[in-house]
């Protein structure tokens, strides 16, 4: 019997667990789900005869060792800082490992040990990173095989609300880690355009936007991710003149979010000293100068001249001009803001989320320059079976299933940019309704 261990039973794990439990029935497998709280794991397994729910203290080395050593393959849905620890255990006990997280320097240092143990370690096999890599590589390798040269590649992805659930002015709710949303974009974004390396500091990021259009969904805005330059090598596009990866939001979101950035409300580097029973207006006022007789809206306009009435209406909807008590009274500016947003951006039972991804290529061919636009839209079923959980969890589940079936034979440390990995995963994703729509047209 083949044994699979899934570490972490959070929001993104439901499709992963259900897919592998379904496959386990006919393939003589056992799926163990481990979480800090056993009841969370049990909720996901739902009494399945090929499933086992257990609790785990991930900091307990003996407990980890006992659990990992009794399995053939581990899928870690834990926060990224835990992956190197899990990876070392897997190497020690000869267990294969899959994650959806970015491949860190700490994991790369284990490459030779993974190879020596003849193990398969696959990282970045979720949505973004994951489906973005695989769908891009399919087009890149196809165009290279045809003898074409890629001049430009831009790729955008966003986790948003389906149009029927865009029920607040921001047209956004949390479908993944709220902290990551609040801290998104901090640092410097780097990309290349027309052979010139470009840098966007954090305080300018949400001013530098590009319009991205989807046929049936309308207009979005894209802002640059942290480091697009690294993907020139990853995708075999070392000499490409233009390459940018970015995040999508509905039009108007970024302008309003930029207000928080400019005021310093997304700063996570210090703790605030707020009065007892502080209100949302108290929190906002802590970042504003005092102008006698002027309210917070006018004071915001005084220091951010470009702020729009639409931006201010979004802040008003969050209650930031009100005497509502803060849901979080202690922490950094970012932590307090997160508390406000979690209260207002909660998924409701009727809500459906949406994943949108688009690749835009400009390719030199014998007939001229053609533009390839490859678009994905995926919709959630409800607040539990979300599009985010589907697109993060299914690539991992399919990769695990293919590997245990012997259909992925390579060994070593990988991300899914090799055809042996991405081709069968994309094919299986299409049978699950995760399908890219591709359009080509000559532009010169």
What pLDDT, on the 0 to 100 scale, is given for residue 223? 97
CA proximity to 372, closest of 356, 360, 389: 360
Instruction: Give me the residue label for tokens 């986790």.
Output: 159
What is the fold, at CATH topology level, of the domain defined by 2-127+388-431? Rossmann fold (3.40.50)
Any idea what the Cα angle at residue 412 is, between residues 388 and 21, rounded to 5°?
40
Instruction: Give me the residue label for tokens 């399945």.
Output: 48
Angstrom distance (rounded) from CA 58 to CA 78: 9
Angstrom distance (rounded) from CA 23 to CA 230: 36
> How high is the mean pLDDT in each 10-residue block of the chain (444 residues)?
95 95 94 95 95 95 95 96 96 98 95 97 97 98 97 97 96 90 94 97 96 95 95 95 97 97 97 94 94 86 94 97 95 97 93 97 95 97 93 98 97 98 98 96 89
Angstrom distance (rounded) from CA 262 to CA 424: 45
What pLDDT, on the 0 to 100 scale, is given for residue 15? 97
Phi, psi of 173 (to 5 degrees): -145, 165
Residue ranges per structural domain of the chain:
2-127+388-431
Determine contact, residues 375/436, Cβ cutoff 8 Å: yes
Angstrom distance (rounded) from CA 358 to CA 431: 20
CA 195 distance to own-chain centroid: 28
6 DSSP β-pair partners: 33, 75
pTM of the model: 0.93
- CA pseudo-torsion sign 243, 249, 251, 257: negative
């Amino acid at each position: 019997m083949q044994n699979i261990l899934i570490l972490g039973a959070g929001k993104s794990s439901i499709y992963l667990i259900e897919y592998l439990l379904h496959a386990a029935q006919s393939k003589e497998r056992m799926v163990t789900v481990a979480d800090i709280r056993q009841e969370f794991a049990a909720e996901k397994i739902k009494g399945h005869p090929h499933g086992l729910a257990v609790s785990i203290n991930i900091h307990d080395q003996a407990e980890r060792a006992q659990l990992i050593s009794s399995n053939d393959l581990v899928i870690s849905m834990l926060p990224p800082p835990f992956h190197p620890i899990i990876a070392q255990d897997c190497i020690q006990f000869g267990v294969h490992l899959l994650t959806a997280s970015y491949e860190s320097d700490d994991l790369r240092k284990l490459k030779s040990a993974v190879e020596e143990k003849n193990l398969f370690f696959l990282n970045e096999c979720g949505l973004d990173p994951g489906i973005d890599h695989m769908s891009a590589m399919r087009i890149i390798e196809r165009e290279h095989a045809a003898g074409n040269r890629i001049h430009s590649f831009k790729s955008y992805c966003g986790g948003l609300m389906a149009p029927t659930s865009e029920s607040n002015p921001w047209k956004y709710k949390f479908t993944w880690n709220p902290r990551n949303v609040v801290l998104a974009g901090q640092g410097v974004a780097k990309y290349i355009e027309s052979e010139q390396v470009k840098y966007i500091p954090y305080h300018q990021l949400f001013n530098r936007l590009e319009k991205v259009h989807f046929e049936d969904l309308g207009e979005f805005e894209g802002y640059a991710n942290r480091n697009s330059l690294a993907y020139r090598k990853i995708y075999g596009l070392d000499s490409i003149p233009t390459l940018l990866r970015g995040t999508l939001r509905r039009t108007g979101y970024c302008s309003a979010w930029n207000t928080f950035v400019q005021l310093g409300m997304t700063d996570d580097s210090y703790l605030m000293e707020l009065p007892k029973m502080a209100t949302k207006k108290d929190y906002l006022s802590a970042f504003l100068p005092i102008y006698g007789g002027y309210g917070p809206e006018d004071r915001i306009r005084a220091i951010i001249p470009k702020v729009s009435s639409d931006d201010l209406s979004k802040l008003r909807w969050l209650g930031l001009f009100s005497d509502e008590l803060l849901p979080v009274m202690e922490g950094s500016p970012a932590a307090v803001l997160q508390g406000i947003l979690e209260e207002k951006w909660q998924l409701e039972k009727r809500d459906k989320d949406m994943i949108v991804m688009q690749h835009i290529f400009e390719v030199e061919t014998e007939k001229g320059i053609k533009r390839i636009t490859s678009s994905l839209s995926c919709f959630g079923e409800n607040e539990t079976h979300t599009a985010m959980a589907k697109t993060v969890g299914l690539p991992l589940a399919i990769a695990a299933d293919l590997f245990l079936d012997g259909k992925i034979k390579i060994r070593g440390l990988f991300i899914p940019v090799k055809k042996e990995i991405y081709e069968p995963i994309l094919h299986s994703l299409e049978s699950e309704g995760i399908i890219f729509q591709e359009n080509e047209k000559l532009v010169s």
